[in-house]
Chain A
Amino acid sequence: MSTETAKEVKREVKLEIKNLEKTYDNGVQALKGVSQKVYKGEFLAVIGLSGSGKSTFLRCINRLNDPTAGEIWFEGEDIAFTKGSKVSMTRSKIAMIFQKFNLVGRHTVLSNVLMGSLARTSFIASMFGVFSSEEKEKAHKYLALVGLSEKAEIRADQLSGGQQQRVAIARALMQEPDVLLADEPVASLDPALCHTVMDYLKKINRDLGITVLCNLHHLDLVQDYSDRVLALKDGLKVFEGESSEIDDKWFKEIYGEEARRVH
């Protein structure tokens, strides 16, 4: 216990979520009061069964979903119930990547990456699709970082799933965010491609110091890539700790008695 307190004192808290609740219009209670501290620069994995609320948890943080109750503290401000342009500002600092990549298929890879700079691009310029050469340079830089320099002029929908997810990462980096939310980033990828995408996530976490919150299905990926784990079950937090602490006992606790680990 004392070691944990010591760690909290030492590390800067990037995000603090307090008693977060979300009830959807159809009455489904996805989150029933989840509290969590996210430290600067860490790689936090969020695990749980489908329907455990982990996707809702991430989507409430960047306000793609509006929480029902609770607080989300980010940069000295509670962002849980902000309105209008404040929400966009939060989103520009807390980037997100998705299970289905969510790229604009008809646009080129470069154009997709440039879209990450929309929040700081003037309205008129963005309506005409004009981006400054500075932004273009940046976009090329981030494309190089995810190893896709030579694909810049290709239409996004012609890339493989793994490559599309890397474009999505470059788009997120283009926002120059403090935090990256990754909602099941490898769930629709070939298992062989999982590690490439996860490696890039780890790389930007380590090299650029971006705090990563990542929803994951696969326990092996959790242990390979994350520093800490938050486990949700039926909208409640059931575990928080180091990734290495997840043993078979906890696994059964989180996933239910019948679950078996896949290796």
Chain B
Amino acid sequence: MNFNFKKYIFNITLNAYSLSVIYFLALYFAGATPDEETTTSGSFILNTFAIFFALGTAAEVLLGVLKIKTLGEQLFARPGVPIIQSNAFWKTQLYFILLLTLVASFLMTKVSIIDLIDESGFLGAMRLFKGIFSPNFDILPKAILAIIETIFIAFLATFIAVPFAFFLSFVGAKNIMKGPVAFSIYMALRTFLNIVRSVEPLIWAIIFSVWVGIGPFAGMLALMLHSIASLTKQYSEIVECIFDGPVEGIKATGASRLQTIRYGVVPQIVLPYISFTIYRWDINVRMATIIGLVGGGGIGTMLIQYQGQALWREVGCIVVVIAVVVWLLDTGSAYIREAIK
């Protein structure tokens, strides 16, 4: 099996990407950008993809025939397979693609200095800043109560997530799941967790606020789900990094598989687990604030209410409370994590 799949997929995608960017940039600078009606039609997108992937493949074949060392070859070179001809083409390719992407990003982002220094816009922002920087501390007790709610939401989400993540972390660790059956379970779990993790907690909060109604419970559920997925991944990585020695030592005494995990693996992972858990709580407090914006309860919900009424001095007070709590937690958790290393 000498066919280097990764290299070809990478190169073809890269070629298709660069050629299409060149094409559309050329159209843009020539003032011939196709109108929106054309570009948003399904067939246009499909055709463009098909054409540029065909061109990308052709380019890859051509580069291969000319024996030019491409970026893909540099990245995915197989050990033992000698590189036929070494030249600097891949470096030029790398810089060229970076430049293309930078130009395209500027155009896509619609970067405009004029908007940034526009007077009325600037004055509006200043008004907002003025409000925020002269906070109205009359609502401080209310804000403190709200942030306490946020901290507890985050704590409960973390607390419930830990036991789930603890057990799943072994199933999600490659060095534990050896053998064909175990490996397919591992792959299934990893895929599932990646999907859960790739959906932002904000989206989960929206889903749960429909499910259980707007409020702290929905926010907690969203954070819990995200925490299970994230913690499992982080825990699994710790399990994958353990030393094999003690595991082998226990195995050699005739201990069963679970006993081997209990005595060979667990002692090695406990402290890093605690450290990651504290960090996750810290992250969850910050996330709970954001989730509150879509109705997950706590300080976020309070913030969005005042923001909606353009009460900037009250918003300022809430921002101060959030900043203080986040800073305290951040520092505190860093100290604790340092201490248990």
Which of A89, A104, A105, A106 has the most B CB atoms < 10 Å from its CB?
A104
Q: Who on chain A is nearest to B256 by CB? A: A88
Instruction: Report yes or no: B251 in contact with A91, Cβ–Cβ below 8 A.
Output: yes
Contact of A88 among B245, B248, B254, B270 (CB under 8 A): B254
Interface residue A90 (Cβ < 8 Å from any Cβ of B): yes
Instruction: Report yes or no: B263 in contact with A98, Cβ–Cβ below 8 A.
Output: no
Instruction: Report yes or no: A98 in contact with B248, Cβ–Cβ below 8 A.
Output: yes
Q: Given A98-B245, A98-B248, A102-B245, verify A115-B253 contact (CB < 8 Å).
A: yes
Instruction: Report yes or no: A102 in contact with B258, Cβ–Cβ below 8 A.
Output: no
CA–CA, A85 and B256, complex, Å: 8
Instruction: Report yes or no: B250 in contact with A115, Cβ–Cβ below 8 A.
Output: yes
Interface residue B215 (Cβ < 8 Å from any Cβ of A): no
CA–CA, A116 and B255, complex, Å: 8
Contact of A118 among B245, B248, B253, B267 (CB under 8 A): B253
A 65-105 contacts with B by CB, 8 A: 85, 88-93, 95-96, 98, 100-105
Chain B, interface residues (CB within 8 Å), range:
10 to 19
Interface residue B6 (Cβ < 8 Å from any Cβ of A): no
Which of B254, B264, B270 has the most A CB atoms < 10 Å from its CB?
B254
Instruction: Report yes or no: B259 in contact with A91, Cβ–Cβ below 8 A.
Output: no
Instruction: Report yes or no: B254 in contact with A104, Cβ–Cβ below 8 A.
Output: no
Q: Who on chain A is nearest to B249 by CB? A: A102
CA–CA, A100 and B251, complex, Å: 15
Q: Given A106-B267, A107-B267, A118-B250, verify A100-B245 contact (CB < 8 Å).
A: yes
The prevalent SS among residues of B at the interface is: helix
Instruction: Report yes or no: A118 in contact with B252, Cβ–Cβ below 8 A.
Output: no
A 112-166 contacts with B by CB, 8 A: 115-116, 118-119, 121, 123, 126-127
B-side contacts of A56, CB under 8 Å: none
Q: Given A105-B246, A118-B259, verify A64-B253 contact (CB < 8 Å).
A: no
Q: Who on chain A is nearest to B252 by CB? A: A96
CA–CA, A118 and B259, complex, Å: 7
B 258-312 contacts with A by CB, 8 A: 258-259, 262-264, 267-268, 270
CA–CA, A140 and B112, complex, Å: 78
A-side contacts of B264, CB under 8 Å: 104
CA–CA, A96 and B268, complex, Å: 21
CA–CA, A93 and B267, complex, Å: 25
The prevalent SS among residues of A at the interface is: helix
CA–CA, A64 and B253, complex, Å: 11
A-side contacts of B255, CB under 8 Å: 88, 115, 118-119, 126
Q: Who on chain B is nearest to A90 by CB? A: B254
B-side contacts of A32, CB under 8 Å: none
Contact of B263 among A90, A96, A100, A115 (CB under 8 A): A115
Instruction: Report yes or no: A104 in contact with B253, Cβ–Cβ below 8 A.
Output: no
CA–CA, A62 and B248, complex, Å: 11
CA–CA, A88 and B262, complex, Å: 16
CA–CA, A93 and B253, complex, Å: 8
B210 to chain A, nearest CB (A): 41
Contact with B along A39-73 (1 / 0, CB 8 A): 00000000000000000000000101000000000
Instruction: Report yes or no: A95 in contact with B250, Cβ–Cβ below 8 A.
Output: no
B11 to chain A, nearest CB (A): 28
CA–CA, A261 and B241, complex, Å: 39
CA–CA, A168 and B245, complex, Å: 12
Instruction: Report yes or no: A104 in contact with B267, Cβ–Cβ below 8 A.
Output: yes
B-side contacts of A226, CB under 8 Å: none
Instruction: Report yes or no: A104 in contact with B250, Cβ–Cβ below 8 A.
Output: yes
Which of A96, A118, A171 has the most B CB atoms < 10 Å from its CB?
A118
B62 to chain A, nearest CB (A): 36
B-side contacts of A172, CB under 8 Å: 253
B-side contacts of A115, CB under 8 Å: 249-250, 253, 255, 263
30 A-B residue pairs with CB within 8 Å: A85-B256, A88-B256, A89-B254, A90-B254, A91-B252, A91-B253, A92-B253, A96-B252, A98-B252, A102-B249, A103-B246, A104-B250, A106-B267, A106-B270, A107-B263, A115-B249, A115-B250, A118-B250, A118-B254, A119-B253, A119-B254, A121-B259, A123-B258, A126-B255, A126-B259, A126-B262, A126-B263, A172-B253, A174-B253, A175-B253
Footprint of B on A, CB under 8 Å? 62, 64, 85, 88-93, 95-96, 98, 100-107, 115-116, 118-119, 121, 123, 126-127, 168, 171-172, 174-175
Given contacts A116-B253, A126-B255, 11 further A-B contacts (CB under 8 A): A64-B251, A96-B252, A102-B246, A104-B267, A107-B267, A118-B250, A118-B263, A123-B258, A126-B262, A127-B262, A171-B253
